[in-house]
Amino acid sequence: MDMQFEKIFKRGDRNPAIIAGPCSAETEEQVLATAHALKGQNIDLFRSGIWKPRTRPNTFEGVGKPGLVWLRKVKEETGLKVTTEVANKEHVYESLKYGVDVLWIGARTTVNPFAVQDIADALEGVDIPVMIKNPINPDLNLWIGAIERIYNIGIRKIAAIHRGFSSFGDSHYRNIPLWQIPIELKRRFPDLEIICDNSHICGRRDILQEVAQQAMNLSFDGLMTEVHPNPDEAWSDAKQQLTPPNFKKLVDELIIREGASVEVQDSLAELRLQIDQVDNDLLDILSKRMGVAKAIGQYKKENNVPILQPARWSKILDKSAKKGEGKGLSEDFIVQLFRAIHQESINQQNEVMNS
């Protein structure tokens, strides 16, 4: 589907859009104190959760409608525009009633097409910007589908929010970034603004700067960061929030890359030619490897040997990870690469077995 988007944030190339505010609206005093502390920091939107979709019941799930009164006071007292999350049509109606400037759809909602359509139906005929977070699982088409549902009812001011993806096991992040997914989204829709929610990617404040800088290095259009006057006392997501002064420090220390000059572009073009040649060589090598895999598959078929040899596969993976480390390649990259190669080898051998 060919979609043409309008900008929500009209900033220069060297001025990323900045969205900041507490994870949750807790009290009127907390919301207003945060807003006044951020007023002089040139932020584009003051964010605060009014309804909080939580993993388990009997935890703080937001203050509900009273928080919308507080957001209206933020607008009146500071002049800041405000945004909050909506998860159903009732949230939409209430937010519009209290003058919320921008809505966002959260990751737990994006994953459900019925819920997104419910929100879209409630917004039909309304001219309001909408930001859409990636679904909790790494499914680019599901993310695009949510964007399409909002686009189809006539809204053109749409932005995507990259907040990372859920995963099993231990990780450096709360939600792993999988940067290639928002990069692919941007490739398909170059005029779609993409905001990095570094708070939800990190889950802890000590790496917020690292992830924010990575987003800027990848030419993201802005940041959404959670800010609280007393983060350790926050009623939700305390570990990933910053104080207003520390948030200012994070933004001030960001390095925003300038557009490349003609000379730099020429040098990059030469290096990219080298990359293209290496990529071609890689494809040739992979093609040869799969040819050998097919030959192995034929031999296994003729001798009634099963395709999967677990001991052999485990040995290849361990050996490759060690060799890769010696060549400056991360273990995570080597494991992912060889798993993909192994799966394609199995697919090739399956074709031989079934022929």
First-last CA distance in the chain: 38
Q: Report the C-alpha gap between 146 and 144 in whole angstroms.
A: 5
Q: What is the mean pLDDT of the chain?
A: 93
85 versus 260: the higher-pLDDT residue is 85
- What is the pLDDT, as a whole number, of residue 290? 95
- What is the pLDDT, as a whole number, of residue 53? 77
Q: Report the C-alpha gap between 276 and 279 in whole angstroms.
A: 5
Asked if pLDDT for residue 56 goes beyond 90, the answer is: no
Both tokens assigned to 104: 């966002």
For 17-252, CATH number out of 3.40.50.300, 3.20.20.70, 3.40.50.720, 3.40.50.2300 equals: 3.20.20.70
- What is the pLDDT, as a whole number, of residue 95? 98
Q: Name which of 204, 183, 122, 182 is nearest 155 in CA terms.
A: 122
- What is the pLDDT, as a whole number, of residue 8? 97
Both tokens assigned to 101: 């400037």
* Domain formed by 262-354, architecture: Up-down Bundle (1.20)
- What is the pLDDT, as a whole number, of residue 261? 66
Do 17-252 and 262-354 fold alike per CATH? no
Contact between 136 and 163 (Cβ < 8 Å): no
What residues are paired with 196 via a beta bridge? 162, 223
Both tokens assigned to 241: 């929030």
pLDDT tens-place string over residues 102-129: 999 999 999 999 999 999 999 999 999 9
Asked if pLDDT for residue 24 goes beyond 70, the answer is: yes
353 versus 257: the higher-pLDDT residue is 353
Q: What percent of the chain has pLDDT over 90?
A: 81
Domain positions in the chain are 17-252, 262-354
Q: How many other CB atoms are found less than 10 A from the CB of residue 177? A: 21
Both tokens assigned to 182: 């928002």
Asked if pLDDT for residue 80 goes beyond 70, the answer is: yes
List b or e across 103-139, with b for residues whose CB sees 16 or more CB atoms inside 10 angstroms. bbbbbbbbbeeebbbbbbebbeeeeebbbbbbbbebe
- What is the pLDDT, as a whole number, of residue 266? 75
Q: What is the mean pLDDT of residues 315-344?
A: 92
- What is the pLDDT, as a whole number, of residue 209? 97
- What is the pLDDT, as a whole number, of residue 13? 62
The residue with tokens 């964010």 is 47
- What is the pLDDT, as a whole number, of residue 217? 92
